[in-house]
Amino acid sequence: MTTDSNVPRIYRALLRLYPRQFRAEYGADMAVLLKNQLRDEPAWRVCGRAAIDLAITVPTQQLETHMTRTPNRTVPLIYTGLAVAAAAMAIVGGTNAGAFIVGLLLAFAAGVMALISWRRVLPLRDRDVTRHWWAFVLAGPVLIGAVIIASGLGVEAWFLGILCVLTAFALTAIGLTLAVIRLVTTRTPSVSA
């Protein structure tokens, strides 16, 4: 059982998940902020907000330490793909109540994380990021076609086939998301300050 006095200690331990440079620059301030929030708000609210923040910013910061350009939109895309794959798992496993419920719960959780992480990144203005949206959209049906052809040739790999179909759904969803972002960002005039 976690008491309110243990929360700052646990949070400081979780801050070690961030890259060293980020931790050195912001870690102490983040720990002080959490302690102040615990003094002013209920612990369950502060812990929930901190957990969401860690789930989004730790992967982002880890990826950005290895990338040359920021901000990184990989985390929101990964969560979007996971949400679509989990929804597809719920649909495919619909006759099995356990698979259906787990799929829906995973889809909901990943969908919420995708929405939150999309809100945290800046709008995609870089056309190079969204230029190849069609390749993702096309990859989905091509992968499903490959599964159909393989099953027609007598390949019996049920698990691999399901995994390929779920991956196809995720790729198509990522492609459609990138297409919408490209459409919105190319039609929205940029406001100069």
CB under 8 Å to 147, separation ≥6 — which residues? 161, 164, 165, 168
Using a cut of 0.85, tell me whether the model's pTM lies above it.
Answer: no
pLDDT recorded at residue 123: 54
- The burial class, CB within 10 Å (0-12 / 13-18 / 19+), for 1 is exposed
Q: What angle do CA 34, 36, 37 make, to 5 degrees?
A: 65
Name the range with the highest mean pLDDT among 69-78, 87-96, 115-124.
Answer: 87-96
Domain ranges (residues) in the chain: 7-66, 74-187
The per-residue pLDDT for range 11-66, each reduced to its tens digit, is: 999 999 888 888 899 989 999 999 999 999 998 898 888 988 888 888 888 877 76
End-to-end CA distance of the chain: 51
Count Cβ neighbours within 10 Å for each residue of 179-190 and write b for 16 or more, e otherwise. Answer: eebbeebeeeee
